[in-house]
Structure 1
Amino acid sequence: MCTVTYIPTLDGFYFTSSRDEKASRATIPPMKHRIDGIDLIYPKDEIAGGTWIAAGYNGRTACLLNGAFHNHVKQKSYRRSRGLILLESFKHKSMYEFSNVVNLNGVEPFTIISLIHLPGITSEFTEFRWDGTSKHLRQLDIRKSQIWSSATLYNSKIQLQRTALFEDWIKKFKDVNGRNILAFHSTKHGLNVSHDIIMKGEDDLMTLSISQLHFNNGNVVFKYYDILNDKAYVTGL
């Protein structure tokens, strides 16, 4: 939930998300869930019951990052998990609709990257940020490779360094494939160990897993790499 990349291809795209979290935080590998009549596939956080990345059988995917624009002062408790907010967004036809109606009072700041994609049609690619006070929604360029880093772990200077690493990588690997982008997410790139793409910080904080959604001509493959336990899962939609 702390590093997300989007890479378009001729026939679809790659969404890849690294989860930087305490090693003690238990996770259930991705599987199919049905929520209010909507079929989704996602890994599940055992504590809060939500997720940081999910794909719907209706051609939609969404990724969550902690924080909005800057690090915030954490409250003792919050009304609802951000991972559950991500799942709730799938009940709505678009992020525009969702952002207008969702009640985020008492919810910790977050960023959601959402893409609605059907074969031959891309109807919506958005970035939705909640800073604890206001909602911010903007349309994204479907043709542009992009990276996002969690504002709670990486300040603006570090985010720029990570963006530069990603842009250099894109230039180097013009023929992008899933293996290459997974290598980007799972490799040390020379930054401080607590700031690198695969990171290890204080209090047992580290990159625990990498999730990847590959959309290709209407087919979807969900790859999940449990780094801590050295296990891999591959599921098709």
Structure 2
Amino acid sequence: MCTVSFVSTRDSVIITSNRDEHIQRKNAAAPAFHELQHKKIIFPKDAKAGGTWFAAADNGTVAVLLNGAFVKHIASPPYRRSRGLIVLDIIENSDPFLFFTGKLDLEKIEPFTLVLYQSGILHELRWDGQHKFERSLNTAGNYIWSSATLYTDDVIGRRKNLFERFIDTGENITAPQVHRFHTSNDGDNENGFVINRQTGMKTFSITQAVVKPATIDFIHTDLLQQQQFERTMPIHQATIQQ
């Protein structure tokens, strides 16, 4: 939940996330389908709180969480609810974007950033502990986010430069190419895209959703167990603007 990219191609969008956690945290359960509020939603379930950092619904909506908002914050527990459960609260709603900007109560919720792809529109949603922020992004563009809780501004800038160089390498980038990019660290275990820090912070998994006009391909790579899970889910309402 600490590195997320959005890549637009001719016939799909590719959303990919690296989940970094402390090695003392239990590994998440493999992705599975769940029925929530009359939607079929696929997500890997966090073993600690039961939420998730990456979820895709059968109407084409995808929601991906990063810890922290704009800057590294000082944690002030106890919090009322896990951010991973907030992700599920949002994606199961009939209109996730309006729910976030309106009725969603985030009092005593730890700061977060949510990348939300809904109805062919890309939203960047943030909660800094006191205020909500939202902006819509051009879905023809390519973007990368790095968690402010784990990476300095300098490192975030370097990662963005690497991403832009990767995007410039080809006109029709594929999902496997994006996945390989997310596995690179150039020998930097502290700030590469796959980390293994002396503090115990480690990249647990890489999760990817490839949203096409009629389907979502959901790929989850468990780096701890060295296992890969692939599922395809039909979309009941097209979300890619042609």
Q: TM-score, normalised by structure 1?
A: 0.94
Provide the residue aligned with 1:38 in structure 2: 39
Find the counterpart in structure 2 of residue 141 from structure 1: 138
In the TM superposition, what whole-angstrom CA distance separates every residue of 1:180-199 from its partner, at most 9, and x where no partner exists?
Answer: 11110011235x42111111
Q: What secondary structure sits across from 1:167 in the alignment? A: helix
Offset, 1:233: 0.5
Q: Is the 8 A contact 2:21 2:201 kept in 1?
A: yes
**Cα shift at 1:85:** 0.6
Q: Structure 1: 5+ residue runs without aligned partners?
A: none
3-state SS in 1 of match to 2:44:
strand
Q: Which residue is equivalent to 2:191?
A: 195
Is contact 1:92–1:98 with CA below 8 Å preserved after alignment?
no
Partners of 1:107 and 1:56 in 2: how far apart?
24
- Alpha-carbon deviation of 1:74? 0.8
Cα deviation for residue 204 of structure 1 reads: 2.1
- What's the RMSD between the two structures over aligned residues? 1.3
Please say if 1:132 is aligned against 2:134. Answer: no
Does 2:75 align with 1:78? no
Give a deviation string over 1:58-95, Cα, whole Å, max 9, x none.
11111000000000001132110001111111214141
Q: How many residues align?
A: 231
Q: Is the 8 A contact 1:53 1:63 kept in 2?
A: yes
- The residue correspondences of 1:172-183 to structure 2 (distance < 5 A) are 172-183=169-180
Aligned AA for 1:219?
T
- The SS at the match of 1:207 is strand
Q: 2 CA distance for matches of 1:155 and 1:116?
A: 30
Of 92, 99, 120, 2:101 maps to 99
Per the normalisation by structure 2, the TM-score is 0.92
Residue of structure 1 in register with 2:21 after alignment? 21
Amino acid at match of 2:171: K
Q: Distance in 2 between matches of 1:173 and 1:71?
A: 34
Determine helix, strand or coil for the equivalent of 2:191: coil
Checking the alignment, whether the CA contact within 8 Å between 2:90 and 2:99 is kept in structure 1 is: no
The answer (yes or no) to whether the contact 1:23–1:228 under 8 Å persists in 2 is no
Match of 1:57 in 2: 58
Structure showing the higher strand proportion among its residues? 1
Which blocks of at least 5 consecutive residues in structure 2 are unaligned? 234-242
